[in-house]
Each structure stands twice: as C-alpha cells, then as structure tokens.
Amino acid sequence: MDQTYLNERTEAVESDYMQLVGFTIGKETFGVDILMVQEIIRSAPITAVPNSPDFIEGVINLRGSIIPVIDLRKRLNLRKKASEIPITWILIINVDERVTGFIVDSVTKVLKIQTARIEPPPDIVVAGLKSQYIHGVCEIDTGLLILLDFSRILEVKEIKKLKEFDKK
C-alpha cells in the first residue's frame, strides 16, 4: 500500500477521536477537551476578592500571573455533601485566550473518546439557558461522562467581571 494513503487513513481515524481530561465533582464525572487544559495543580493558596460573585473563590498567583479561580461546583449548582473532601485540584484552563482556574474534586485520567459516541444533551437538560455549557454526553466504563464547554460556562457579564481582575 501507498505510504501517503496509510498516513491519510491514520489521520482520519485519529480525527474521529477526542482526548478529554476527566474530572469529578461529587459523584458526577465530567470531561474537558485536553487542548484547553493548560495544567492541573493541587490546591494552592486562594486569596478572596471582596464583592465578587459567589462562585468565584478568589485569585491565585501562578508563577507571577494572577489567575481568577472559580468553584465549578457552585457554578454548576451542584450540592455539596458534608462528608465530601475539601478543595483538592485546580484545572488551569485557557478559555478564549483567558486563563482561569476551576476547582474540581478530583482529576481522573485522560480519556480517548470516539466522537461518534458523543451525543447531544437531552432536550430536557438544555431547555434552561443555564445549561448551555453542556457540550454532550457519552457512556464510559464508570457511567455517563458530561462534556463541558468551558467557553460557555461564564455569561458575558461574568466575563466582564473577571476582566476587572486583570486591571487590579
């Protein structure tokens, strides 16, 4: 067989897959496109910012850059159980050229998912405007994986509020 054909075929098969960083909040498993993840860090000292929205935990200093940190549990309105562990992981994600930290309970592993297996979220889920950040769902070994679109997690007015951190 022609090597060019084999290379093109391999690229076509690879493009049928999506690599995701898996993470959990409570019992739910989520995923984000690996290309958006800049790094994953253990919890860092977070400085609270007065008069910030409830879901913004504060800011961290990451190698000289001040980065806002969002509690993803609060942003997604997931209830916290008293028995759950405290903050353990921060996903540093590059969203539309804006670096933001998102607090999650744990980071599981890198997942390679066939794009054909990703289904749009059920209509009942996307009926509310607040769920526009759910990109899709797919079944994995441990249950359902919810793919989040981090470019839609924040509303326009919230992004403007985050931009104020840059000016401080």
**What is the tens place of the pLDDT at every residue in 38-65?**
999 987 889 998 888 888 899 999 989 9
In the predicted model, what is the mean pLDDT of residues 155-159?
Answer: 63
**How many domains is the chain partitioned into structurally?**
1
Per-residue pLDDT band at 6 (split at 50, 70, 90): very low
Asked, for residue 55, whether it belongs to a domain, the answer is: yes
Q: What is the pTM assigned to this prediction?
A: 0.79
The SS3 assignment for 107 reads strand
CATH number for 107: 2.40.50.180
pLDDT in tens, 64-103: 999 999 998 888 887 766 555 566 799 999 887 889 999 9
> What residues make up the domain containing 75?
15-167
